[in-house]
Amino acid sequence: MYVSHLSLHDFRSYTSADVELGPGVTAFIGRNGQGKTNLVEAIDYLSRLASHRVASDAPLVRAGADQAVVRAAVVRDGRTAVLEVEINPGRSNRARVNRSPLPRSRELVGLVRTVVFSPEDLTLVKGDPSDRRKFLDDLLVLRAPRLAGVRSDYDRILKQRNSLLKTAGAARRGSSAQEGALSTLGVWDAHLARVGGELLAERLLLVDALRPYVGKAYETVARGATRDDADITYRPSFELDGQTSRADLTEALLAEVERRRNDELDRGLSLVGPHRDELLCTLGELPVKGYASHGESWSFALALRLASYDLLRSDGDDPILILDDVFAELDSERRAQLAELVAGAEQVLVTAAVGADVPEVLTGTRYAVGGGEVVREQ
Ligand SMILES: Nc1ncnc2c1ncn2[C@@H]1O[C@H](COP(=O)(O)OP(=O)(O)OP(=O)(O)O)[C@@H](O)[C@H]1O
């Protein structure tokens, strides 16, 4: 798939912008802060309804404007669809496909699929477990868009359950008379186990599918590495005893939640479930976080992205590859290796401050980005 036209209105620094794109490589070159990342971020937003840079929508709307609009013509198997999202911070976003409104904006997710490499990727391996859970869940949703609903249901249930645990814990300590909260908790235990069991089962399947690609990708991007060096393992917040089916995991999660009732009431927090799980990234015997060198961490982060790309590709569709400011971070050998790996993708969008940072094999269409303008060079 590829984007053939991108149109922005009040998105980030752009009052308006229209950019023609095509298959193959397109590079956006310009000095720092000129709006290169803003362009590719808009395409990534259409793919996931989330940005790779910020957690909330407000910074995506041009300062002083009320809403932003991102519209893209996406070509897939020779057919073009026009996807559009209206970003309304604090209110619901609206989405359209070929001008017809979608009942819910999240139905847009997955219609265009992107894999973004960016300097922020280092947090994939060096950041908190939540960064790695997000990585897994984003990939889950790209592969199976219906899981966006499971993910948001889980977040909602968790929030509700945590607030009940606080109230019920306080009631138990005699500081209030809300004992009713304790009985309601049983209902939310069941919700958490049902949706959590499904999310857990999907994540386990995903990690199994992704693992072989991670080793292979690490071998390619790290000098002298073999495919057995890098590995990922899903570490759940409770003992699974080898269970992998949704029904078994739901049952096991419910039993564990009941077993941990007192701890949870004391802490006023849900202590088990997919929101407490971790994706362990290891090089040889050692975890990447806390042990790997800066270069190894970078290679691992790149390997996770490349593996995601390979996995999505194995599903039968070429996602759009976005390389946002990554070449300046890499030494010349890894720069060339990465460039070679991605050069054959159906569409590659690259941003760089200096044209010379973009490897030769990625010569394609170039745009100069500066002063709010995006001008084609060749
Ligand atoms: N909501 C917003 N409203 C107005 N301007 C914004 C908004 N969000 C970001 N900007 C501006 O956009 C510019 C950053 O654009 P962008 O991140 O695309 O830069 P870039 O060209 O990729 O730079 P670099 O090479 O440094 O990564 C900054 O000047 C920032 O102030």
* Residue 2 maps to a domain: yes
Q: Which residue has the higher pLDDT, 74 or 328?
A: 74
Our count of domains for the chain comes to 1
- Per residue in 230-268, pLDDT (tens digit) is 999 999 999 999 999 999 999 999 999 999 999 999 999
Write the CB contacts of 166 (distance below 8 Å, at least 6 apart in sequence): 268
- Ligand 1 site-directed mutation target among 16, 37, 350, most atoms within 8 Å of CB: 37
Q: Calculate the average pLDDT of the chain.
A: 92
pLDDT of residue 184: 87
Q: Does residue 177 register a pLDDT over 80?
A: no
* Atom number of ligand 1 nearest to Cα 352: 25
- Ligand 1 site-directed mutation target among 14, 36, 38, most atoms within 8 Å of CB: 38
**pLDDT bucket at 84, cuts 50 / 70 / 90:** very high
pTM of the model: 0.90
Residue nearest to atom 19 of ligand 1 (CA): 33
The first and second tokens of residue 319, run together, are: 């996602």
* Residue 301 maps to a domain: no
Could you give the 3-state DSSP secondary structure of residue 154?
helix
Write the CB contacts of 114 (distance below 8 Å, at least 6 apart in sequence): 43, 44, 47, 48, 319, 320, 321, 322
* Residue 25 maps to a domain: yes
> Per-residue pLDDT averaged across 260-282, rounded?
95
Residue keyed to tokens 């359209």: 96
* Residue 332 maps to a domain: yes
pLDDT of residue 251: 97
* Atom number of ligand 1 nearest to Cα 41: 18
Q: Which residue has the higher pLDDT, 313 or 227?
A: 313
Which residue ranges are tagged as binding site?
30-37
Q: Does residue 174 register a pLDDT over 70?
A: no
**pLDDT bucket at 227, cuts 50 / 70 / 90:** confident
The first and second tokens of residue 67, run together, are: 């809403």
ipTM of the complex: 0.96
13 CA from centroid of ligand 1 (Å): 6
Query: Which structural domain range is residue 84 located in?
Result: 1-113+318-378
Cα–Cα nearest to 121, from 362, 298, 310, 353: 298
pLDDT of residue 270: 96
pLDDT of residue 330: 79
pLDDT of residue 19: 97
pLDDT of residue 110: 87
Tell me how far apart the alpha carbons of residues 71 and 283 are, in angstroms, rounded to a whole number: 41
DSSP structure class, residue 108: G
Query: Can you give the CATH number for the domain in which 106 is found?
Result: 3.40.50.300
Which residue ranges are tagged as binding site for ATP?
30-37
* Residue 207 maps to a domain: no
The first and second tokens of residue 15, run together, are: 């009052």
* Residue 75 maps to a domain: yes
* Residue 186 maps to a domain: no
* Residue 104 maps to a domain: yes
